[in-house]
Structure 1
């Protein structure tokens, strides 16, 4: 297998919590706490989970918009985790970020031409036909009128503004794009247009995506592989078909049970799983398995031993002591799961 374009290894981000006049640290919000995954050239990996699980923070750590607390980010074989800003600036041509809100991510005082042309000026990139012609070509590529060059963001709809943001991202022909909930602020009809645009651009420009989203329907449509996050950790990682057809982590199963079914006749075929309680605070996450406080399958081992993210089926990684869809699990992994079940039937204690 070829080397990954992006490799994230044990990535962490802990935001300090301070108190008092002297800002004494009394704790830390563990927003991202040991995230690992690889992204290969030309693929799309979806990063999903509830609000506050650390998806956006992970995206910003990858692009070094915020500094990581621990772990590594390797891009094209280069460790960029602690690379200086002067050294990482040239690499930003190859790594770009699409922001979630098209209303706040565009400067209202700048014209479209200035916004999309900014990467050329910041990076000192010269073009044969001039920046204006290059920007107009990019606007046409994302479905906007090149004559919009001198217009301002307030003159466009939400979907058009997001296209402007995408155009700015494409200006320097990046290899990797982190799309942070690129359609969540748009109407449903416009969401489909933007998602289709991203797919067309990927095929035409050979792009690689990390798509951050909470809409599992969007992720299913656009992603090759999907990583599910809960409280700063990845709990399941698999190819799209395996994850949607046979989810193994109880949390993933609960998320998928909430996805609306378009066909009215089949809406009663799926049982809705309603999780009990609120999402715990990342300031004081539960010990061991962080999902055990809301999991209907939790046993003593879930509170005392953190399940590692391991491959239970070909290409399907899960962090759970008692995974779902046991018939899909490979023989060696099934033996360990069976031991967990046996131990749970004869517990040494109870969950408090």
Structure 2
């Protein structure tokens, strides 16, 4: 089946005084219609830059973006406008992405007006109800809402055009822990009801587990592992993925106290001066001489359908 979205060799560099920062380094990804793909990693790994490129809020330096069989990499913003009905984004900070001078109704209606619809009021009311807000909130302003409610407004705005794919860029990381589960459950429920495809960006593997079918792990601008959810959580192949999973608290206090946590050495290297060989080797507990000189490709794992890891010495055993 032809994927809804394909990224081929996608690259983004930024010039700085110290040289060129390679924020995204030649990644390949596919998202099928109706699928939720998680994109996870530490802050600064390039996941949000990737998300903004695939909805064309940032232009890639190199590579190709294909949406529904059409190359959209070089399309002008004018030619992109009709495609934005099918391709939307939910931002991390709801208040930063909502204009405080506009009413909620005006904010949610903006994507419809950009598509040429003159009277979006009924659709706006429908979407506010859909995300758990009353239609009466349309005349209020963003500052009158809590963080969780403001994010619901952002979700309504993203869904009002009936998109096929939504990029959710850390949609709960700016919210109180008590509210995060509500928004995650809302997004999961909307996906089931509407048949949406998601690219769900997060730094917390515990969050994406409840929403995503497949998960891609990024480190220093590259994908280091991609697998179906159950395979990745049950038997992660890349040492970095194992370290991330070991940081997730266990609900059983006895198991939490007795398990061995993987502690990585140091901080992630600067993307303006990545180390030679495998970018993860300075922090890796399995690094060998080969890792310091030879960069491993993202390669399929033997006997593991749909799985790939960028590691010379991957593990396939169960993860305790």
* TM surpasses 0.5: yes
* Residue 235 of structure 2 is aligned to residue 246 of structure 1: yes
Deviations 1:72-97 (A, max 9, x none): 11000101111122211111111000
Question: Which of 72, 85, 97 does residue 105 from structure 1 map onto?
Answer: 97
Q: Which runs of 4+ in 1 moved over 2 A?
A: 325-328
> Structure 2 CA distance, aligned partners of 1:294 and 1:120?
48
- The equivalent of 2:254 in structure 1 is 265
User: Does structure 1 conserve the Cα–Cα contact (< 8 Å) formed by 2:23 and 2:221?
Assistant: yes
Structure of greater relative contact order (alpha carbons < 8 Å, 6+ residues apart): 2
- The equivalent of 2:25 in structure 1 is 33
- The equivalent of 1:325 in structure 2 is 316
- The equivalent of 2:223 in structure 1 is 234
Unaligned runs of 5+ in 2: none
- The equivalent of 1:66 in structure 2 is 58
- The equivalent of 1:5 in structure 2 is 4
> Structure 1 CA distance, aligned partners of 2:260 and 2:318?
20
- The equivalent of 2:42 in structure 1 is 50
> Structure 2 CA distance, aligned partners of 1:85 and 1:106?
21
Alignment of 1:105-254 (within 5 A): 105-126=97-118, 130-254=119-243
> Structure 1 CA distance, aligned partners of 2:140 and 2:85?
25
Query: What's the offset of the Cα at 1:189?
Result: 2.1
- The equivalent of 1:300 in structure 2 is 289
> Structure 1 CA distance, aligned partners of 2:37 and 2:204?
14
SS in 1 for 2:136: helix
Query: What's the offset of the Cα at 1:125?
Result: 2.5
User: Does structure 1 conserve the Cα–Cα contact (< 8 Å) formed by 2:40 and 2:218?
Assistant: yes
> Structure 1 CA distance, aligned partners of 2:259 and 2:158?
40
Deviations 1:168-218 (A, max 9, x none): 001110000000000111112211111111111111111000000011111
Unaligned runs of 5+ in 1: 19-25, 329-352
Q: TM-score, normalised by structure 2?
A: 0.97
RMSD: 1.3
User: Does structure 1 conserve the Cα–Cα contact (< 8 Å) formed by 2:65 and 2:73?
Assistant: yes
SS in 2 for 1:182: coil
Q: TM-score, normalised by structure 1?
A: 0.88
